[in-house]
Chains A and B, each alone.
Chain A
Amino acid sequence: MDFEAVIGLEIHVELNCATKLFCDCPNRPGDEPNANTCPTCLWLPGAAPCLSQAALEKAALLCLGLGAELQPLSAFDQKVYYYPDLPKGYQLSQAHLPLSRGGGITITNERGEARALRIHHIHMEEDVAKLVHELEGRQPISLVDFNRAGAPLVEIVTEPDFRTPHEAMEFLKALRTQVRYVGASECSMENGTMRVDANISVRPRGSSQMNTKVEVKNMNSVRHVGDAIAFEIARQSAAVQAGEAVVLHTRLWDPDKKATLPMRAKFEGPCVPDPSVPAIALTPAWIETLRARLPEMPAAKAERLVKEHGVSAEDAAFLSADTDVAAYFEALTAHGVSAKMALHWIATQVLPAVRERGQELSASPVTPARLAGLLTLLARDEINANAAREVLVALFQSEASAETIVSARGFRQISDTGALDALIDQVLAAQPAALADVRNGVGKATGFLIGQVMQASQGKANPKLIKELLAKRL
């Protein structure tokens, strides 16, 4: 039988707010354990949660960035479960009235078709504490670190629109880009600021039934999400084929075994409205003010780059995947650099150089203005490409302009035909054998002669001009 998968994702994104969701403690989970705590985030008796305005704004901006509709009224509930990472017995989450509904992302599937994948809703919730398991002598003990307790999270719950691991991975990459665009989170699966659970079921292809799903957790990269889904589809398909029933449960992805394994269920109950956090009422005016703060989102940006700069759709997607890259590109073109040259230099020179130096593109000493100075000299043939690459290194090392570096270090290209003719004479006289080869039609010999002239000019000759002059002589 031919099976197809029905997949939905639940994505937790840790917001990069300065403070926690319900108190003023710093939102820095990585600090010394339990350094960032207070009675509220230790969930001591008598504490009263106070919803952070900054977290609400960031969460709402994220919703708008994903095309979701902010709800005029949302509220927190108590999601009851007992586990030592939550020593108050319930997590504040929005179960009944989420912050937003709807929204989605359009991706390109394996067959190159556009697929609109819908978001069911987005809600806010507090993170729980972190458990550290250790041995005290031979006695296993569990330590609780509350630095993460109460950290602001949003959970993005999709519709079960996905059919393949590829679609899930493309969705996650696009989601990460969009969340980074609005500045709400770094969305790093490796660092745990983005955590993905996948709900997977299988059915005969063409059927519209919804079968029992299995939830898979513990994937810490986009790649692992794809692998885990693929494994689970194969596992369930084989089970159904063998006549076994799929039962509702949760499994953990084991990256070493490359398999999902069942985990023990934790006790969970229905959510009760929380009486301590007031409901959140958003006015249309507030929402519009926030919408005005929304940056141009990746899809719109890519479309505009194609239209305004004539780059290909693929290049536009590359540029708009990172706001910093797109901004750098547009700044270069604003300084008169051609789109083609800007794209080429960003992709092949600047990004590798920045990465190698561990810098952020937006904070790199090689600003678009300084690079534009260099690329203008290159475009005018005042320097050649080899020299330009050396000047770029110099731009990283000093504050001087490309113009100054080129002059000071004598990188200016020799485009004076008289001077080049003299060099050519010199080389032809010294290389009679090569000259003979050229005349006998040995192709490689022309290149050799050009190289010799370049060497004689200490790399400063204009290679295009040498070629022209040489052709006239031969």
Chain B
Amino acid sequence: MTPITLFENPDPAPAVPGGPLCGTRVALQPTISVAGWPTDAGSAALAGFTALEDATVVQRLRQAGAALTGLTRTSEFGFGLHGSQAGEAVRLGAADAELVLDMMGECRVAAARAGAYGLTPSAGLVSRLGLIGLIPSMERCGLLARSCGTLHALLAALAGPDGRDLTLEEAPPPAPAPLPADARGVTLGVIPQALDGLPAAQAEGFRAALARLATAGVAVRELSLPEYDLFALVHAIVGSVEASSCAGRYDSVRYGRRPPGAKNWNEMYLSARGAAFGTCVKSFLIQGAFFQFERYAAYENACRIRARLVAAAQRLVAEVDALALPLPDRVPEDITAAPLAEICAPFGCTRLASVTGQPALAMPAAGACGALQLVGPRLGDARLLALGETLAAVCREGK
């Protein structure tokens, strides 16, 4: 165990030599099931729990010949980055890539923090079997690496139908539109509302990055989305209600610690769940329970608004090659028992893709401050990565 790893694989050599990921060292979060490994999702609710079988993504990593290095420290259920070391293994060179659960942008912000690249694949592209998060309709297996090329190889190995996750698309993604030869053919869309309320330095960094790209010939178009604020609201309501319902399974009947002394089942639930969850997750679950039990109509409204937002974002992205959104490259470090609002603060601009299911790529920006986030059309992941590679070249020149 090190400050960043929770569990080191004593035998990381791949069982399948010569695969496309041969020589790629991949670190995982304990939110991703590996048979026989302590998959506690960073929560006391799963203390001592060992996964019975590999997540589909783990099986596919093994089949592609990747070396699994171990488990990194995570926030509880991978929610937010408080207490998480996501991205550190790649930053420090201990791994070539990491899989990071992404429910509101964790993989992307972790990549930005590590100065690396992070892809949140389209919803329905990579199997979720074996992932242990809190928000099923939003969580995806994020990929984090030092280059778009590595992300591309990872995605090729992991994506595709899984007979055991029926939420996946069965048909292969549609053929991508031809790629521009270089940055001069690329058009990015910027949502002005996304910059409202952003810390001044971050907004400044984002504008500088766009200016650098514009200098290289990238066309930048302003695309207004007056309902932009609703992404955070929909995420807060729908996400927390799903979490509240799904986390019902952490009741200590089958696993997890069961505090002694309960006189009946109801007391057992209360004491076990009270002891199991950290402050942040508890706040999120209580928020969800409030909407589920006290304001159900608001939850239903949020679901309807979500459908509208998905359509709106898809329309916007169809007008350009990708949407460009700001991305913070640091998160507050020294907060202990941070309130929910503080934990969620760095994810202001990442929740759009979490709500819509679109693919989103985090990449280092050309400027001195902040990183860049590109959001593509759903299932346009391969083209988004290629686009990222083209723009990365421009950004590197700018450094």
Footprint of B on A, CB under 8 Å?
Answer: 39, 42-48, 50-51, 78, 80, 82-84, 87-90, 144, 267, 269-270, 272-273, 275-278
Is B128 interfacial (CB-CB < 8 Å)? Answer: yes
A89 touches B249 (CB 8 A): yes
A90 touches B166 (CB 8 A): no
| A269–B165 CA distance with the chains assembled, in angstroms | 27
Residues on the A chain within 8 Å of B33, using CB: 45-46
Residues on the A chain within 8 Å of B130, using CB: 46
Q: B-side binding surface: helix, strand, loop or mixed? A: loop
Report if A82-B269 is in contact (Cβ < 8 Å); known contacts: A90-B245, A270-B296: yes
CB within 8 A of B251: which of A51, A87, A277? A87
Smallest CB separation, A465 vs chain B (Å): 74
Residues on the A chain within 8 Å of B293, using CB: 269-270
B245 touches A80 (CB 8 A): yes
Is B178 interfacial (CB-CB < 8 Å)? Answer: no
Footprint of A on B, CB under 8 Å?
Answer: 33, 39, 41, 46, 49, 51-53, 55, 128-132, 136-137, 163-167, 241-242, 245-249, 251, 253-255, 265-266, 269, 292-293, 296, 299, 303
Known A-B contacts: A39-B52, A80-B245. Give 16 more (CB < 8 A). Answer: A43-B249, A44-B52, A45-B41, A46-B39, A48-B128, A48-B129, A82-B248, A82-B269, A88-B248, A88-B251, A89-B251, A269-B293, A272-B292, A276-B136, A278-B166, A278-B167
Report if A46-B166 is in contact (Cβ < 8 Å); known contacts: A89-B251, A272-B245: no
Smallest CB separation, A102 vs chain B (Å): 25
Q: A-side binding surface: helix, strand, loop or mixed? A: loop
Chain B residue with minimal CB distance to A146? B254
Residues on the A chain within 8 Å of B49, using CB: 45
Report if A82-B251 is in contact (Cβ < 8 Å); known contacts: A48-B129, A48-B165, A50-B166: yes
CB within 8 A of A272: which of B51, B52, B241? B241
A87 touches B167 (CB 8 A): no
Q: Which of B33, B46, B53, B254 has the most CB of A within 10 A?
A: B254
| A417–B254 CA distance with the chains assembled, in angstroms | 85
| A277–B136 CA distance with the chains assembled, in angstroms | 10
Residues on the A chain within 8 Å of B249, using CB: 43, 45, 87-89
Report if A51-B166 is in contact (Cβ < 8 Å); known contacts: A45-B49, A84-B253, A89-B251: yes
B253 touches A87 (CB 8 A): yes
Smallest CB separation, A81 vs chain B (Å): 9
Residues on the A chain within 8 Å of B132, using CB: 45-46
Interchain Cβ contacts under 8 Å between A and B, 7 examples: A46-B130, A78-B246, A78-B248, A80-B245, A144-B253, A275-B136, A276-B128
Residues on the B chain within 8 Å of A43, using CB: 249, 254
CB within 8 A of B46: which of A45, A47, A84, A277? A45
Chain A residue with minimal CB distance to B303? A273
Residues on the A chain within 8 Å of B167, using CB: 48, 275-276, 278
| A375–B165 CA distance with the chains assembled, in angstroms | 59
Smallest CB separation, B44 vs chain A (Å): 13
B51 touches A46 (CB 8 A): yes
Residues on the B chain within 8 Å of A278, using CB: 166-167
Q: Which of A42, A272, A276 has the most CB of B within 10 A?
A: A272
B266 touches A82 (CB 8 A): yes
| A412–B235 CA distance with the chains assembled, in angstroms | 88
Residues on the A chain within 8 Å of B265, using CB: 82-84
CB within 8 A of B55: which of A46, A90, A269? A46
Residues on the A chain within 8 Å of B296, using CB: 270
